[in-house]
Chain A
Amino acid sequence: RKEVEQDPGPFNVPEGATVAFNCTYSNSASQSFFWYRQDCRKEPKLLMSVYSSGNEDGRFTAQLNRASQYISLLIRDSKLSDSATYLCVAPRSGGYNKLIFGAGTRLAVHP
């Protein structure tokens, strides 16, 4: 089983839609997780951190389910500018110096 696993998508949604991505992780000792956004051929940028059960920032909500070992990212009222690849990230046990990235979920928002 991969350490961090994501559905690659693509998710094609119209503007204004609500879309959710899931990510599963294998290391039950992981305490915190992150969602990064990566635009085509650009560097990843931190979108949200998830330290407890969940975190909300505007149209974005991240939730953590420790029992089932998955993290979700919900995007409400999708904008064209949300089109990107969303990377689920977990730290390897022993600290946050080694981040494990999922392969990413592609989102395409169309008019």
Chain B
Amino acid sequence: NAGVMQNPRHLVRRRGQEARLRCSPMKGHSHVYWYRQLPEEGLKFMVYLQKENIIDESGMPKERFSAEFPKEGPSILRIQQVVRGDSAAYFCASSPLPGTDFYNEQFFGPGTRLTVL
């Protein structure tokens, strides 16, 4: 059973370009979470999605960032017009059920390390 997959593992972009990060959840998981980790800092929640729905995007910057989880295919985190401050590790996690009333373990992917030159 493959774990959470993310690609690319490393992404280099110049300022002003677009970055697309992909996440394929574990088989049978329909809940996806995106986190950002800056150097020497903890992970920061960005967005929670279910298939075709954004459930909570309270942690995502309102400008330049968007996320989707289509019916078919991986979840995509898109960053438009990247700036140096976007350089970070972006982790995706998935769970089989929503963590509404109790915790469903979130399994993390290996992350995408974005470097903006």
- A-chain residues with CB within 8 Å of residue B35 when the two chains form the complex: 101
Chain B, residue nearest A88 (CB): B42
- B-chain residues with CB within 8 Å of residue A104 when the two chains form the complex: 42
Per-residue A-contact encoding for B48-85, CB less than 8 Å = 1, 0 else: 10000001101100000000000000000000000000
| B100, A95: Cβ atoms closer than 8 Å | yes
CA A41 to CA B91, docked complex, whole Å: 11
CA A46 to CA B93, docked complex, whole Å: 12
- A-chain residues with CB within 8 Å of residue B106 when the two chains form the complex: 46, 99
CB-contacts of B71-117 with A (<8 A): 89, 91, 98-106, 108-111, 113
> Given known contacts A43-B91, A104-B42, is B110 in contact with A49 (CB within 8 Å)?
no
Q: Is the interface of B mostly helix, strand, loop or mixed?
A: loop
Per-residue B-contact encoding for A60-103, CB less than 8 Å = 1, 0 else: 00000000000000000000000000010001100111111111
Per-residue A-contact encoding for B16-55, CB less than 8 Å = 1, 0 else: 0000000000000001010100001111110010000001
- A-chain residues with CB within 8 Å of residue B108 when the two chains form the complex: 43-45
CA A13 to CA B103, docked complex, whole Å: 33
| A101, B110: Cβ atoms closer than 8 Å | no
| A96, B103: Cβ atoms closer than 8 Å | yes
User: By the criterion of a CB under 8 Å from any partner CB, how many residues of chain B are at the interface?
Assistant: 30
- A-chain residues with CB within 8 Å of residue B100 when the two chains form the complex: 95-97
- A32 in contact (CB, < 8 A): yes
- A-chain residues with CB within 8 Å of residue B44 when the two chains form the complex: 101
CB distance from B42 to the nearest CB of A (A): 4
- A42 in contact (CB, < 8 A): yes
CB distance from B34 to the nearest CB of A (A): 11
| A44, B101: Cβ atoms closer than 8 Å | no
- B-chain residues with CB within 8 Å of residue A91 when the two chains form the complex: 99, 103
| A96, B42: Cβ atoms closer than 8 Å | no
CA A106 to CA B113, docked complex, whole Å: 21
- A-chain residues with CB within 8 Å of residue B105 when the two chains form the complex: 46
Which B residues contact A (CB, under 8 angstroms)? 31, 33, 35, 40-45, 48, 55-56, 58-59, 89, 91, 98-106, 108-111, 113
